[in-house]
Amino acid sequence: MTHPDFSFGNALFHFRRTGGPKGFLWKYALAFALAGFAIQAINIVMSWPIYEIYLRVFTEGDGDITQYTADINRASMQSMMSSVLIFPLGILVWMVFETASLRRYMRGDGFCLRIGADEWRVLVVGLIWFGLLIAAYIGLFIVVLVPIGLGAIGGGDTAAIGAVIGLVLMLVYMLACLWAGIRLSPASAMTVRDGQIRFFEAWRVTRGRAWALFGAWLVIGLAMMVVILVAYAVMAALGFAQLAPLFPALQDGSATGEDIRAIVTAPGFWLPLSLIFLLLVGVQAVAQHIFGGPAALAAKTDPDWVGQPGVSDTFS
């Protein structure tokens, strides 16, 4: 496998130049879509009491939601507990797919999902990111609230000056956090590359490359946003078209729960929506994989790593 130079163009299209067995991207997208569909199906089943209450709002309560507030609160609490149970499953799915993507970039591996040492190391890097995110939020509150609070104590024009300073500091702080995120972005790729947990070492790897990384992610993000918005619009329009004949009955209160269930459980309703949902999640999976390309290329073209003993064997 050749080592492309790091540049904006190579970073943007690195997902097409990883080498390795063909068919990775469609297998990755299909498996991710099926996993996402399964998790969503489990979530719907566990949250069904909430949906059932909202059906009753229209079929029994003439659209008056206030008389069902207690039921909704109780069902929402049950649904929240169910979400807590599903959360570890979501973390597991992220862990195995993120690592499979990184192995493709760093080693040219074919598509394979497993739980091994690489996955646990990537999870640790993810937990470090999570900890830094919490710290960043705490820092944001401090940066904003201190000048605003001091200005409020001073009163008068001082309060307005404190608010302006707080706003300026918030913008500067957010840009600094974004910049730090870009500089540390190759951490997971370096962790898979070296077989050891790497994080702050990524700062060195992105020196002089941050703008190219930002530009590549900006282009990828805009392109994927358009595709995902179109998919969402198609799914919403299809669902609206299926339910449109029922709207008059819902408005005058003549629709029954059985009428609604007959529509939403008919294959003509849920099958097209399910297929579009699978397509949408698959597109999100492709976006996730492509997003990892620029940072992975930065890790792969690390001048202090390329050419080390064993590297040529790894990528031969």
What is the DSSP track for 243-259? HGGGHHHHHHT---HHH
Average pLDDT, the chain: 80
Residue 163 CB contacts under 8 Å (≥ 6 apart), including other chains: 147, 148, 151
Is 1 inside a domain boundary? Answer: no
pLDDT top residue among 101 and 39: 101
| Mean pLDDT, rounded, for 238-253 | 62
Residue 13 CA from chain centroid, whole number: 20
pLDDT of residue 189: 92
- Stronger pLDDT, 135 or 36, i.e. the higher one: 135
Please tell me the distance from the alpha carbon of residue 150 to that of residue 152, in angstroms, as a whole number. 5
Residue 132 structure tokens = 């830094």
Whether 2 is in a domain gets the answer no
Q: Is residue 112 part of a domain?
A: yes
Residue 311, pLDDT above cutoff 50: no
Question: Does 56 have pLDDT greater than 70?
Answer: no
Bigger pLDDT: 290 or 312? 290
**How confident is the model at residue 307, as a pLDDT?**
46
Average pLDDT estimate for 227-256: 68
Question: 4 near 297, Cβ under 8 Å?
Answer: yes
Stretch 129-152: mean pLDDT: 88
HSE value, Cβ hemisphere, 13 Å, CA-based, for 36: 20
pLDDT in tens, 253-295: 555 556 666 666 666 666 777 787 788 888 888 888 998 999 9
* Spatial contact of 3 and 306, defined as CB atoms under 8 Å apart: yes
* Residue 3 falls inside a structural domain: no
220: which 2 tokens? 């990828």
Residue 134 lies in a domain: yes
The predicted pLDDT at position 77 comes to 67
Residue 281 domain flag: yes
Does 89 score more than 70 pLDDT?
yes
Amino acid 230: pLDDT:
84
C-beta separation of 178 from 185 below 8 A: no
Q: Is pLDDT of 44 > 80?
A: no
- Domain that residue 97 falls in: 8-314
pLDDT tens figures, 182-234: 999 999 999 999 889 999 989 999 988 989 999 999 998 898 888 888 877 87
In the chain, what is the straight-line distance between the N-terminal and C-terminal CA atoms, in Å? 6
Of all residues in the chain, what percent carry a pLDDT higher than 90?
27
pLDDT-derived band of residue 315, with 50, 70 and 90 as boundaries? very low
Model pLDDT, residue 19: 79
Least confident of 16-30, 43-57, 71-85, 299-313: 299-313
Say which residues have a Cβ less than 8 Å from residue 130's Cβ, sequence separation at least 6: none
59 in any annotated domain? yes
Written as one string, the DSSP assignment of 118-167 is HHHHHHHHHHHHHHHHHHHHHHHHHHHHHHHHHHHHH-THHHHHHHHHHH
Q: Does pLDDT of 250 surpass 90?
A: no
Residue 44 is assigned to a structural domain of this protein: yes
**Structural domain count of the chain:** 1
